[in-house]
Amino acid sequence: MTTDVRSPDAVTGEDDVFTLAKGYYTARALVALWRLGLFDRAHRDGELVPDAIAAEWEVDEEAVRPLLNYLVVRGLLELTGTGSFRLTPRAHEAWAYRGYLSTMIGAYEPVFARLEDLVTGRAVYGRDVSRSHEEMVRGLTVLEDRMMGTVGDAVLGAKARKVLDLGCGSARMITRMCELDPDLRAVGVDRDPGSCAVAEETVAARGLADRVAVVQGDAFDLASLPADVLDGVDSVTVMFLLHEVLRQRGRAGTVGLLRQIADLVGPDGRLIMVEVSGTVDVRHRERQLFVPEYELLHEYTNQRLAARSEWERMVGEAGMEVADVLPVDMCQSFCLVARRPGELR
Ligand SMILES: C[S@@+](CC[C@H](N)C(=O)[O-])C[C@H]1O[C@@H](n2cnc3c(N)ncnc32)[C@H](O)[C@@H]1O
């Protein structure tokens, strides 16, 4: 089966290549605007004043202007009468989704810069190349509102008393849940020291050190975590991490981890997981927002997506039943709530 994915205005092969190149340049320029803080500034202040930016950064104004001028050409900025720039309505709409510029482009830039080496085995992901954890966390942080309602409601609805968050990243999710419920305690576990440092900062900034702990450790092996981390846990949240287990530990390893979680939370506890569903049917790939691209980046970064139905099967094999599947307002994501089938309820 072939699918013609040429852009609608590409008439020839040459048009097509240039359209692809334009998309690349535009996306890269927008990533720069976001990383430099100018996307947020334009959204907040209503305008970008190049000479003020240049003075603040102590650079020549001529270094700042070309980026802004290019984004005018591509319809994301427009010039005001006074020579400053403002976001176009299109860019204002895109701003709400700016976290994807990090999670889907910026964080994987080091990976795609060495794609040929990864394909040919000259480089190995995790040894020679890795995505930017810092940028991943930064992107997810601004996308969190899109899943906070769903996941927060699931945790609070389960009347959880102690939540263990596996792969906690910035810990913003668990700290927000603890802010909403003064009787809730939480432990965030992350393998990456940089993420743990950010998580510690979040906890301190929110004054939650007495109820939220951050532990650097391997979430794929619950038995390796200190006993006081696991003690009293009645809910486990795991957001955008299980697909890494699936690739690195295989299906049996993933079911094994889910079984450890089922044993940990006990008969009244809950697993609340957020995942991105992989492609179910190749014929529908083009209608799925970004999924083929998302699958590609996962293939080269030691991660593997699975369809929602496959996650439901693995949860069942781990001795749990699906209590609920809730929509998450993030690209092809879902929130699955599972519990042990129990006689106590
Ligand atoms: C995609 S991020 C998700 C972060 C957070 N759950 C969120 O939704 O914002 C995955 C996180 O899991 C962490 N991680 C990856 N493998 C891990 C492991 N084996 N044990 C603990 N954390 C891990 C990464 O460092 C990263 O912070």
State the pLDDT at residue 345: 47
DSSP lists the bridge partners of residue 338 as 271, 322
Residue 4 lies in a domain: no
Separation of 149 CA from ligand 1 center, angstroms?
Answer: 20
Any ligand 1 atom below 6 A from CB of 202: no
pLDDT of the chain, 345 residues: tens digit per residue: 455 556 666 689 999 999 999 999 999 999 999 999 999 999 999 999 999 999 999 999 999 999 999 999 999 999 999 999 999 999 999 999 999 999 999 999 999 999 999 999 999 999 999 999 889 988 988 888 788 888 999 999 889 999 999 999 999 999 999 999 999 999 999 999 989 999 999 999 999 999 999 999 999 999 999 999 999 999 999 999 999 999 889 999 999 999 999 999 999 999 999 998 876 565 555 556 677 788 888 889 888 888 899 999 999 999 999 999 998 888 778 999 999 987 444
Per-residue CA distances from 113 to 17, 28, 123, 129, 191 (Å) = 19, 13, 11, 10, 25
Please report whether residue 8 resides in a domain: no
Rounded distance from Cα 15 to ligand 1 centre (Å): 41
Q: Ligand 1 test: best mutation among 138, 172, 187, 191, most atoms within 8 Å of CB?
A: 191
Do 197 and 114 reside in the same domain of the chain? no
Q: Domain of residue 118: give its range.
A: 96-139
Q: Whose CA is nearest to atom 27 of ligand 1?
A: 169
Distance 199 CA to ligand 1 centre (A): 12
* Amino acid residing at 264: L
Same domain? 22 vs 87 = yes
Q: How many other CB atoms sit within 10 Å of the CB of residue 198?
A: 23
In this prediction, residue 333 carries a pLDDT of 86
Instruction: Write the CA distances from 283 to 10, 67, 279, 291, 311, integer angstroms.
Output: 23, 38, 9, 13, 21
What is the domain-level CATH number for residue 89? 1.10.10.10
> Contact, 199 vs 176, CB < 8 A?
no
In a domain? residue 6: no
Q: In this structure, which amino acid lies at residue 1?
A: M
Residue count of the chain: 345
What letter does residue 287 receive in the DSSP assignment?
G
The verdict on 174 and 56 lying in the same domain is no
Which ligand 1 atom is the nearest neighbour of the CA of 141? 9
Atom of ligand 1 nearest to the CA of 238: 6
Domains identified in the chain, total number = 3
- The distance from CA 240 to its chain's CA centroid, rounded to whole angstroms, is 7
Ligand 1 atom having least distance to the Cα of 143: 9
Residue 292 domain-assigned?
Answer: no
In this prediction, residue 282 carries a pLDDT of 59
Please give the Cα distance from 309 to 277 (Å, whole number).
9
Residue 279's pLDDT is what? 67
Q: Which helix (H) or strand (E) holds 212?
A: strand 212-216
Query: How far, in Å, from the CA of 190 to the mean position of ligand 1?
Result: 6
pLDDT of residue 196: 94
- Token look-up 């830039």 returns 109
Looking at the domain assignment, is residue 324 inside a domain?
Answer: yes
**91 and 179 in a common domain:** no
Indicate if ligand 1 lies below 6 Å from the C-beta of 143: no
Say whether both 113 and 38 belong to one domain. no
- Edge-to-edge, what's the strand order for the sheet holding 270-276? 212-216, 185-190, 162-166, 235-239, 270-276, 333-339, 321-327
Tell me, yes or no, whether 310 and 204 share the same domain: yes
Q: What pLDDT, on a 0 to 100 scale, did the predictor assign at position 144? A: 83
Angle at 296 between CA 295 and CA 297, to 5 degrees: 95
Q: Are residues 41 and 118 in the same domain?
A: no
198 Cβ closer than 6 Å to some ligand 1 atom: no
